[in-house]
């Protein structure tokens, strides 16, 4: 049977809605503000045989959806070695080398069974607030092996044939500084999968398994066709781009992220082989994460192509096996967010050299993961982990977004009201950072200034950031955005991190403050081409001096 276009459009919408509802269920029931408020989580529907992405939610993190295809493949392989999946099975794991990102992100994968066979897999991933390791919140800038970052869980069954494995949960709870938060997030993800199974079952009962399966295949095929057509519209050739990470948190030396991008007809090759070798510190990423970051970057550039595995069919991703971009155990991976954003920046710069009308200046390029932790006056343990916004790049149609979130996600910056209610802190400043956007025909967006005061006791302070030494570049002649700046108060005055953007083993006392100034985005086009009225407006608004 050949599906008509109306039925295909309806089924596409229904599949996406199921993933959206799973997202919403988790966001509304998670205990952890990073999931509940910032939406650092995602859900998707995956192929029963290959694990390929079939549909994803629009509210979660795209980087998760891309990586989860590799996570589902890991579960398929594990299940085959155990006699195959059964009705009611659910696997849980946070292994970053086996279809993961970093050990804070826990994945739940469940097969949807029809007539004793797997029709598809449903998956949920969310960032848990604390899962052990040497540093509360798990962003440990000086980790040299994964065991210093978090407890490591390989793919194991949380439900075996529908039977809840309490021992697995007991191990997870025993390894967290915040077991109640972990337990709440775990059950929220279970509930999201339960809802996904109900919604998919209803859809299959309504349309029939064969028609829905045909629609899934057609959507993937159309994504591939559209992607090939858009690549073919670009001029053939090879361009090379290099950008840098400040350091790995352990050795204070820059790390190269290099891309040789080749377009040949309707095929695209992204060759990362010249990038730095695997490093001591936790900015390594797995090859699966590299491929997922390429997927996210390409979806920014080819935004009208449907979001499924067909996007990558005409794309070859090449990575050196000993690279910082294809790390193996036990190398640390906790700061993966910083590295994938640099990959996205480099893809933007490469496309700008071939087709500047499709690209934009680089965004601020770091989540500036900040952890504060201590004990309340009551003796209760608290751990605040959060990430922060910055400026997005100028683009062909206008200025970059001020104080946006990272381009790896559709997450939101946690509201200060939520953080002030949850932790013994006060924001004494939350403002745009003047003069932080790169100059250009279209200015880069502004970064932000955050000041936080500790209200009780003492707190351990950790920062895991980037762009402290290498500014976010502009494209097509645009200027670079401002770099990260960080400081914190001590009894001897304000101090700055020796490694510019990474800090561990620092403390705040009651009444002391920290200050984080985030980068702006790179500009687009030459500054000499900027409209005079736009400059007047920028000065009036305080965006520039």
The residue extents of the domains of the chain are: 5-223, 360-545
CA–CA distance, 346 with 227 (Å, rounded to integer): 20
Q: What is the pLDDT of residue 464?
A: 97
Question: With pLDDT > 70 as the criterion, what percentage of the chain qualifies?
Answer: 99
Q: What is residue 45's three-state secondary structure? A: strand
Q: What is the pLDDT of residue 172?
A: 98
CA dihedral 396, 397, 400, 405 (to 10 degrees): -100
Contacts of 170 (CB under 8 A, 6+ apart): none
Give the C-alpha distances (Å, rounded to integers) separating 65 from 76, 295, 420.
Answer: 17, 10, 31
Pair of tokens at residue 526: 């030459």
Q: Higher pLDDT residue, 397 or 59?
A: 397
* Cβ 145 vs Cβ 332: under 8 Å: yes
Task: Give residue 414's pLDDT band: very low, low, confident or very high (50, 70, 90).
Answer: confident
Task: Give residue 151's pLDDT band: very low, low, confident or very high (50, 70, 90).
Answer: very high
Average pLDDT over every residue of 434-445: 98
Question: With pLDDT > 90 as the criterion, what percentage of the chain qualifies?
Answer: 93
**The pLDDT of residue 372 is above 70:** yes
Contacts of 531 (CB under 8 A, 6+ apart): none
Q: What is the pLDDT of residue 99?
A: 83
* Cβ 184 vs Cβ 192: under 8 Å: no
Contacts of 105 (CB under 8 A, 6+ apart): 64, 94, 96, 125, 126, 127, 128
Task: Give residue 412's pLDDT band: very low, low, confident or very high (50, 70, 90).
Answer: confident
Return the closest-CA partner of residue 212 out of 22, 473, 11, 506.
11
Average pLDDT over every residue of 317-321: 97
Task: Give residue 189's pLDDT band: very low, low, confident or very high (50, 70, 90).
Answer: very high
Average pLDDT over every residue of 185-200: 98
Average pLDDT over every residue of 84-104: 94
CA–CA distance, 158 with 107 (Å, rounded to integer): 11
Burial zone of 4 (CB within 10 Å; 0-12 exposed, 13-18 middle, 19+ buried): exposed
pLDDT tens digits for range 229-277: 999 999 999 999 999 999 999 999 999 999 999 999 999 999 999 999 9
CA–CA distance, 175 with 180 (Å, rounded to integer): 12
Q: What is the pLDDT of residue 124?
A: 96
Query: What is the phi/psi pair of residue 330, to 5°?
Result: -100, 30
CA–CA distance, 79 with 61 (Å, rounded to integer): 26
CA–CA distance, 476 with 228 (Å, rounded to integer): 25
CA–CA distance, 378 with 101 (Å, rounded to integer): 36
**Any alpha helices (H) in 32-144, and if so which ranges?**
33-36, 62-80
Query: Can you tell me which residue has the tokens 């959206």?
Result: 20
Q: What is residue 300's three-state secondary structure? A: helix
Mean pLDDT value across the chain: 95
Q: What is the pLDDT of residue 197?
A: 98
CA–CA distance, 182 with 32 (Å, rounded to integer): 8
Return the closest-CA partner of residue 503 out of 519, 476, 484.
484
Burial zone of 187 (CB within 10 Å; 0-12 exposed, 13-18 middle, 19+ buried): middle
Query: Can you tell me which residue has the tokens 């980087």?
Result: 63
**The pLDDT of residue 100 is above 90:** no
Average pLDDT over every residue of 419-442: 98
Pair of tokens at residue 452: 């936080």
DSSP per residue, 133-199: SSSTTS--TT-SSGGGT-----SEEEEETTEE-HHHHHHHHHT-S-HHHHHHHHHHHHHHHHHHHHH
Pair of tokens at residue 312: 């990558």
Q: What is the pTM of this model?
A: 0.94
Average pLDDT over every residue of 455-464: 97
- DSSP designation for 311: G
Write a three-state SS string for 341-399. HHHHHHHHHHHHHHCHHHCCCCCCCCCCEEEEEEECCCCCEEEEEECCCECCCCECCEC
Q: What is residue 124's three-state secondary structure? A: strand
The partner residues of 117 in beta bridges, in order of sequence, read: 114
Q: What is the pLDDT of residue 533?
A: 97
**The pLDDT of residue 417 is above 70:** yes
* Cβ 229 vs Cβ 242: under 8 Å: no
Write a three-state SS string for 465-495. CCCCCCCCCCECCCCCCCCCEEEEEECCEEE
Query: What is the phi/psi pair of residue 194, to 5°?
Result: -55, -45
**The pLDDT of residue 63 is above 90:** no
**Secondary structure tally for the chain: helices H, strands E:** 10, 20
Q: What is the pLDDT of residue 330?
A: 96
**The pLDDT of residue 1 is above 70:** no
Task: Give residue 364's pLDDT band: very low, low, confident or very high (50, 70, 90).
Answer: very high
């Amino acid at each position: 049977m050949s599906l008509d276009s109306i039925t295909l459009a309806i089924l596409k919408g229904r599949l996406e809605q199921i993933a959206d509802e799973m997202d919403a269920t988790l966001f509304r029931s998670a205990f952890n503000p990073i999931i509940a408020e910032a939406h650092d989580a995602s859900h998707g529907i995956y192929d029963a045989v290959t694990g390929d992405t079939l549909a994803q939610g629009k509210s979660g993190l795209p980087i998760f959806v891309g990586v989860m295809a590799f996570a589902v493949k890991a579960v398929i392989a594990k299940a085959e070695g155990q006699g195959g999946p059964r009705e009611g099975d659910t696997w849980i794991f946070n292994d970053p080398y086996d279809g993961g990102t970093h050990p804070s992100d826990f994945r739940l994968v469940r097969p949807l069974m029809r007539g004793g066979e797997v029709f598809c897999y449903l998956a949920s991933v969310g960032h848990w607030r604390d899962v052990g390791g040497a540093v509360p919140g798990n962003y440990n800038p000086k980790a040299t092996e994964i065991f210093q970052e978090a407890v490591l869980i390989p793919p194991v069954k949380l439900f075996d044939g529908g039977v809840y494995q309490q021992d697995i949960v007991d191990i997870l709870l025993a390894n967290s500084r915040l077991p109640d938060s972990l337990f709440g997030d775990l059950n929220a993800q279970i509930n999201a999968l339960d809802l996904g199974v109900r919604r998919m079952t209803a859809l299959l009962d309504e349309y029939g398994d064969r028609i829905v399966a045909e629609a899934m295949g057609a959507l993937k095929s159309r994504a591939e066709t559209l992607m090939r057509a858009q690549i073919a519209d670009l001029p053939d050739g090879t361009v090379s781009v290099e950008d840098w990470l400040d350091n790995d948190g352990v050795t204070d030396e820059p790390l190269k992220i290099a891309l040789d991008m080749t377009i040949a007809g309707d095929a695209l090759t992204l060759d990362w082989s010249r990038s730095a070798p695997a490093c001591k510190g936790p900015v390594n990423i797995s090859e699966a994460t590299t491929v997922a970051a390429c997927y996210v970057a390409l979806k920014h550039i080819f935004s009208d192509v449907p979001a499924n595995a067909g996007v990558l069919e005409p794309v070859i991703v090449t990575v050196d096996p000993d690279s910082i971009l294809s790390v193996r155990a036990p190398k640390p991976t906790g700061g993966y967010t910083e590295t994938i954003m640099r990959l996205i920046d480099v893809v933007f710069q490469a496309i700008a050299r071939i087709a500047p009308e499709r690209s934009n200046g680089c965004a601020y390029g770091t989540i500036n993961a900040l952890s504060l932790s201590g004990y309340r006056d009551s003796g209760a343990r608290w751990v605040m982990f959060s990430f922060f916004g910055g400026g997005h790049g100028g683009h062909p149609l206008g200025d970059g977004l001020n104080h946006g979130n990272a381009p790896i996600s559709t997450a939101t910056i946690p509201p200060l009201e939520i953080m002030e209610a949850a932790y013994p802190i006060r924001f004494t400043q939350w403002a745009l950072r003047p003069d932080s956007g790169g100059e250009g025909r279209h200015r880069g967006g502004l970064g932000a200034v955050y000041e936080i005061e500790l209200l009780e006791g003492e707190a351990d302070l950790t920062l895991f950031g980037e762009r402290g030494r290498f500014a976010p570049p502009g494209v097509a002649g645009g200027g670079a955005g401002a770099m990260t700046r960080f400081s914190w108060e001590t009894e001897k005055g304000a101090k700055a991190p020796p490694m510019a953007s990474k800090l561990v083993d620092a403390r705040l006392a009651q009444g002391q403050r920290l200050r984080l100034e985030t980068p702006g985005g790179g500009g687009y086009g030459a500054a000499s081409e900027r409209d005079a009225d736009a400059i007047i407006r920028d000065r009036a608004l305080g965006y520039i001096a």
